[in-house]
Chains A and B, each alone.
Chain A
């Protein structure tokens, strides 16, 4: 399988290295370009060592069996939950972790559609936006209590999910992807331009914090609310994954024709998957809007959909635990890199490419692979 890599001579690789430094020349000037060339040449001659480094990284997980590692996630997350109140209070850290948990819900929800059922969805942020905006509009304009508003917003999101799924599911593969992408773009433009309802690009502010018996205005209270909701969501998704519905989804993903032959109502289960996925986007949207107190179209761009998709794939497609890890990684890396603001997204892009090249089945998938080969040998 790797023949094409080995068949390449070193000469071509050297040529590529030279090419890179020539290509960036117009952008960064002669001096920096020369520096880059030197750095690349050093990397080039050390690349065998780098390869060893990366593969040892993957191997370092090999001692853990998958179930042990599932336990590890549970232990680590419970430790985080327990530690937070003891730790010196940091608004920033609390906010980041709350955001991580919201994205965990989103990633797990998208994983239902993309990972389990195999429907490539590129407009997930649109449903996230619908959840957030419905909550914002309902809570600002009407006096309904928090829980009712939240439920109503989620129902609205799921219903719109159903409405889009009906026509979209007639399409297959990448056509479905491009239609969901189109839906996301259309929604973003509408949010930007329907001044009277959404206040355009300025967004809606003054969204009240959640109120269930007490007000969740404090960042730490909000964190606990999100954490509880997140745990319940992940639990429900894990249970559904193992139910008859989940098995039907997996069968559809593997082979639609076989699924049909086995008596699975493919269209019905695809619809369920789509609506079920949208449901979690709506929930995450409600949490996001009530946490931030402000929503604007900028938070729900195509890049947002892609970010959530990347979480699912980085973790390992079709695996809920993978989606959780992916969400934490992709939210935390930019936060860790916050000090080098200008380089930040540059590095995020690079990390995405490297992760996919060196761990093509995602983090969880690669660990499973290593275990598999170990148990065979």
Chain B
């Protein structure tokens, strides 16, 4: 009975579906794309319509670029069916394109055109573009210096932290001696060492490397240790009855079992090492994005500051993406890991 009435309901509903105007269907599919296009056209117009209140050289190019993006958004989403996965990806992100276009329009109008926001502190989009085109060599040098410093310190911190963590988790004797030191020194923010580090180390670069390694090492140590310590005894029993020697128990049982914890430590270490990196570059090292920020502030070059901030955020986010990709590869056996 109920099946019959259900199919009946469907049958009477079907014509209504097919009578849905094609236009509405099309609007649902591509409407957001059209909106995105309109938002970016508005941004382009906002660049070109009024005169700039200041002297910026990239206003015209930015306006043209906005029109190009508007065109891509329009044709990309309307023709998404012919563009395969790129089209699908674009359609999925179309709402973000709308928001971004609207935000840029507002920003453009509020800064470059009517100066509703006080000017040197809130530069318009075109002045940030100007930084990327005109100050590129210096910015790239800074990126390179930051990445080098961060990578060196982080890798040292990870290696030392991981080995220490495994040793404490595995050996009671090592734990006896290292644990109190860890408790005493570890919770101290690495930046507190700054004054000491900069006069005890031969160079500001080695001092910063040490500080970044310290900031990374503590969470990596603690989480590796807790990971190794929390491995169920049942795993060791199984391995021992199958003839495993102690080295096998460490390398093939303890470490793989602790790996999910280790990755939490690597993630936390990455976060705290970014903080130390920027502070170290602002105070001691004469290179890197932190230094660039400081330098830009000294010259009241606020556009340069925003430009450097954007690059920095992309780098940090990229590093975390990379870490998560490595984790997903190594921990495929886990179910339900967080998507970054």
Real complex partners, A and B? no
